[in-house]
Amino acid sequence: MALHPSALPPEITVFERGWLSSNNVLFTGARSGTALVDTGYCTHGGQTVALVRSALDGRPLERILNTHLHSDHCGGNAALQEAWPGVHTAIPPGQAALVRDWDPYALSYTPTGQDCPRFRCDGVLQPGTEVLLGDRPWQVHAAPGHDPHSIILFEPQERLLISADALWENGFGVVFPELDGEDAFAAVADTLDLIERLAPRTVIPGHGPLFHDAPRALEAARRRLDGFVQNPLKHTQYAAKVLLKYKLLEWQRIRMADLRAWTLATPHFRTMHQRHFGGQDFDAWLQGLAQDLVRSGAARHEGDWLVNL
Ligand SMILES: [Zn+2]
């Protein structure tokens, strides 16, 4: 029987989190057992364990799957592995060696100035294969762009898509390879084309509420991407603001002097400034970014503090 289009099958629970943590998708299945897709940011680790524990009602968490290894998608892995030591953790291929040897620079945590406690990986999610979640086969698709290693998961019968940061209701995640000077806007476009071909009826994004109008979201995402392609500077400025706001979400409030010290110690800020805003004094650029956050209602100044809103 087909489900009402706005309903999720009962074996799927979506924990919609704030922006600091990605959404988490919990699966229960009589045959396939329990599994969690993406685990949030580390500072919310205790909350993530509590949410999962309460929803599983005494059953253990058996599997963790990560769509990609950004700190807001796998930052809860360590806490969950501690709570359920037998849990099997699968990540996209391409970074398994970096996780085994734990390279926080190559795994993006040092360049973004974000934290992620070391975790164990036990297997990979190979694009072109299927994984059983909630007793249904889900297709694993490569979805490069936002992150070169990201995967998305698609269930063809109900046409459910776990889109990670490749597609949100209003946009998509920062195109991180571009910050390192690698061309990745074309990969973003290809991934949007892939999602269009999959024609999902329900999209569970990495952030924000689930949505049904994928064509509208795709159109908005393509418009946004076109703007970035026309003017890459716009993307860099957007990325800098996102990274700043993200850290402010973690800190809640920070002295401008401490913010300056953090940005100077955070490689992405140095390279973004050097590559695109080198003609501008670093402090003036940073002040301008903070001012943009204030103007858009994302923060406010309180004396020499910048406060999250
Ligand atoms: Zn991400």
pLDDT at 6: 58
Whole-number Å distance, alpha carbon 115 to ligand 1 midpoint, is 14
Does the pLDDT of residue 137 top 50, yes or no?
yes
Class of domain 2-229: alpha beta
Mean pLDDT computed over every residue of the chain: 94
Query: Using CB atoms within 10 A of its CB, is residue 88 exposed (0-12), middle (13-18) or buried (19+)?
Result: middle
Let me know how long the chain is: 309
Query: Could you count the other beta carbons within 10 Å of the beta carbon of residue 121?
Result: 21
Whole-number Å distance, alpha carbon 67 to ligand 1 midpoint, is 9
Does the pLDDT of residue 277 top 90, yes or no?
no
Quote the DSSP letter at residue 44: G
For the chain, counts of helices (H) and of strands (E): 12, 14
Whole-number Å distance, alpha carbon 278 to ligand 1 midpoint, is 27
Whole-number Å distance, alpha carbon 146 to ligand 1 midpoint, is 7
State the pTM of this model: 0.93
pLDDT at 1: 43
Whole-number Å distance, alpha carbon 31 to ligand 1 midpoint, is 30
Whole-number Å distance, alpha carbon 69 to ligand 1 midpoint, is 7
Per-domain residue ranges of the chain: 2-229, 234-308
